Amino acid sequence: MLIKYYFKILTILTIFFVIAGCSNHLTYDELISVLPSTRSNSKFSRPTMKYDISLPKELKLVEEDNYNDTLWFEIYVDSTIAYEKGSNTISIMRFLSEEKTTKAAWKKLMSKRMMIENFKIHSEGKTNFLNYPSYYEHASCTISKQNTESISFLVQGKTSDFYLISVQTITEGDYPTNIKKLLSGVRTFNILK
């Protein structure tokens, strides 16, 4: 009888650990592999920000002309999803920094980060995912009671120019498909001469 009791507990614990381990969270390496085609994407050329990019057609530039002498910022939002319901977004920030490397610029930028609810870094480091050597961070947090996941890339442009490119999506629904579609667009990021 005691053996049956322990067997039941062991079975329940095994089921719990299998279910807990089967979340829809994917690693950075899983997310950047097997990306969708960018053939039907729309090209955006932004001379003021000195970049161009090819993004899925549902992404629209909604925040632009946020510039000063050392910081420029733009955001693209998925027009098929209400923003307050957790729309897919890509933000691009260009800024000037005295730092000499992407890692040093990343550390300085992140030292000023505001803390967000349930913020967790899954992985970070150097990557060759973009056409330029970059520093990346794969993270998740809760925003407006929704679980979100983001991947950010920091790229060094000319001398003191740096670009922070971030994708963000909610983890419900078509999470892996949505973030992979955003990543396929980000991969086309090109710094203009």
Averaged pLDDT, 124-135: 94
Long-range pairs, 69-76, Cβ under 8 A, ≥24: 70/95, 70/96, 71/95, 71/96, 72/48, 74/46, 74/49, 76/44
Task: Name residue, tokens 């910081």.
Answer: 71
Burial class of residue 165 (count of CB atoms within 10 Å of its CB; 0-12, 13-18, 19+): buried
pLDDT band, residue 9 (cuts 50/70/90):
low
CATH label of the domain that carries residue 43: 3.40.1000.10
pLDDT band, residue 10 (cuts 50/70/90):
very low
The total number of structural domains that make up the chain: 1
Averaged pLDDT, 105-123: 86
Q: Is residue 106 part of a domain?
A: yes
Supply the pTM of this predicted model: 0.83
Domain that holds residue 146: 25-191
Q: What is the pLDDT of residue 144?
A: 77
